[in-house]
Chain A
Amino acid sequence: MSYVKNCRRLLFLALLLIGLSACDLQDDLLPSSSDERGTVVPGSIGHLPGQIAADFTIQDMYGNDFVLSDHLAGGSNPADVVVLYFTMWCPICLSHTDHMYSNVIPQFVGRGTVVYGLVDYVSGSVTATYAQAQANGYITPKFDILADVNQAVLNQFNGAMGITVVIDSDGTILMNEDYRTGEKLTRILDQQLP
């Protein structure tokens, strides 16, 4: 009988743990569909859509400086749109970037200029970023492979694995969310490019 009592105690403990987790994790147990996005002040600096992206400089996998403002209007190498994708070279990341390479980029060839940057925030050095790009078959001129050695760009955009940031030529952030199916990125590029 003591065994049964102990079992009941353990069961109670397990249920208690589930209950406690439920208090903290309502986002999953009772997910909400309400739109909780706050309003942003147009022209303010930040990471949210509608805000202006602060300028940053990081090195690409060849050791060259990549300066955001160089690719905005008035910069030395302006583009119509800058796309940043945060990668840790994980299966999901590679699935997204493969999709971008094969399905998104070809749709907009000849329509303006787009900079597609893959921001590697885990490799820790320019050489390690190059090695990862090479190992995963990303030595291609279609992407700028960027080494975010100290996660400065990751933190600036509140990034994470799979987060895709789209910036227009004025520096305004148009998108900052998971890549998902790539449909939203495609739609924005279609709207922005001539």
Chain B
Amino acid sequence: MIMFNHLRAVPVSGTALSLIAVAFTLALNSTAQAASCCGGGSASSLVLPKFSKAMIDVSMDYERYTGQWDNDGDWNAEASDLNQYRINLGYAHRLAPNWQASVTLPYVFNRNKYPTLERNTNGIGDGTVSVWYEAFEKITCVWDVKKLEDLIPAIYLGGTLTVPTGTSPYDDVSDNFDITGRGAYRLDASVLIDKTVYPWNLSVGASYGKYLERPVNKENGSYVEPYHKQLGDRFNTNISFGYTYFTDEMESITGTLAYAVLTEDEARIDGVIDTTSGFRKESISATIAWASENRDWIYKLTYNHSPTKDGMGANFATTDIITVGVSHVLR
């Protein structure tokens, strides 16, 4: 109990712990697309702890392609060795007491090995620029629920612009193995609700993304008759549940389990619905995060898994992703 009382006196620390869950929930919003053929490489958004000035985040992803769901949701294993590595750089900055902005940029390494074909390519992935509004004035993490007010969660409302800085099939590429991005701007509106009653945490998030239509006059490096393409709208929902353990030195270790569903509607080509596009993907994740005593440094290890079962996705790849990252909070 002494430990708990000590923490009560340092509310920012509580927010930093909550940040772990928030950041993890946001990470599930990332594109997380496997294999260069599908165009992966988006980094996730960042959220700054309340009352902090800035944050730097660096993480590395290793994503292994395990198979795919077909249009009917039937899963097939992948026989080849297809991998993607990403180094993600992120920076978040407080603009005002309730406003913050962040940028992320991944660098993508595609490692694809087929029996008689091996392609190793790399390049910048799609970057993001986000603005978040914190719809709460004070720390919402509590130790005991004594009154109704203690149940008020932290609510974040955000907007993210995905910038197609990656390499898409519509760039001057030699083939589909060079791809590191989707090739279109996307605007996402997100809401994130997070509540911590120590040592437990629950976060739910949702985002709706709309791709902007773009002209295309080139496919895989060859010029084609120009047309317009608009990728389908995206909807992402996720829920995470965490538990935090405090050491005698007041360092924290937080374990989080999460479940996410990502869908993308059918694309439109010259206004006509492309019935061969669109997808759905379910995934589960486990994260362990360690935060220093003053919560300025947070180290994270995440394992994300797409269940290799029929019906848990459609028209999309299944992957396993291991992420190792560190965040440094500047007060």
A: which residues have CB within 8 A of B? 3-4, 6-7, 10-11, 14-15, 17-18, 21-22, 25, 27-29, 31-38, 48, 88, 90-92, 94-96, 98-99, 121-125, 128, 131-132, 135-136, 149-151, 158-163, 176-183
> Are the CB atoms of A91 and B38 closer together than 8 Å?
yes
Contact across chains for B276 and A176 when beta carbons are under 8 A apart = no
Q: Is the CB of A95 within 8 A of B103?
A: no
Known: A91-B70, A181-B275. A25 touches B165 (CB 8 A): yes
Q: Are B54 and A4 in contact (CB under 8 A)?
A: yes
Say which size band chain B's interface belongs to: 35 or more
Q: Which of B74-95 contact A (CB under 8 A)?
A: 76, 79-80, 89, 91, 93
A–B pairs, 8, beta carbons within 8 Å: A11-B103, A21-B124, A29-B163, A98-B71, A123-B115, A136-B76, A158-B221, A180-B276
Which of B114, B127, B225, B279 touches A122 (beta carbons < 8 Å)?
A: B114
Q: Which residues in B have their C-beta under 8 angstroms from that of A27?
A: 168, 170-172, 183, 218
Specify which chain A residues have a CB less than 8 angstroms from the CB of B37 in the assembled complex.
88, 90, 92, 161
For the complex, give the distance between the alpha carbons of A150 and B56 in Å. 46
Find B276's partner among A6, A36, A92 (CB 8 Å cutoff).
A92
**B167→A91 contact, CB < 8 A:** no
Q: Is the interface of B mostly helix, strand, loop or mixed?
A: strand
- Closest residue of chain A to B129 (Cβ to Cβ) is A18
How close is B37's CB to chain A, nearest CB, in angstroms? 5
**Which 3 A/B pairs are nearest by Cβ-Cβ distance?**
A124-B115, A33-B215, A124-B116
Please give me the residue from chain A that is nearest to B227 by CB atom: A180
Whole-angstrom CA separation of A14 from B90 in the bound complex: 8
Could you tell me if A123 and B274 are in contact, using CB atoms closer than 8 angstroms?
no
Closest to A33 in B: B215
Known contacts: A3-B330, A14-B103. The answer to whether A183 contacts B272 by CB under 8 A is yes
Inter-chain contact B117/A10, CB cutoff 8 Å: no
B78 to chain A, nearest CB (A): 9
Q: Which residues of B contact A25 (CB under 8 A)?
A: 124, 164-167, 171
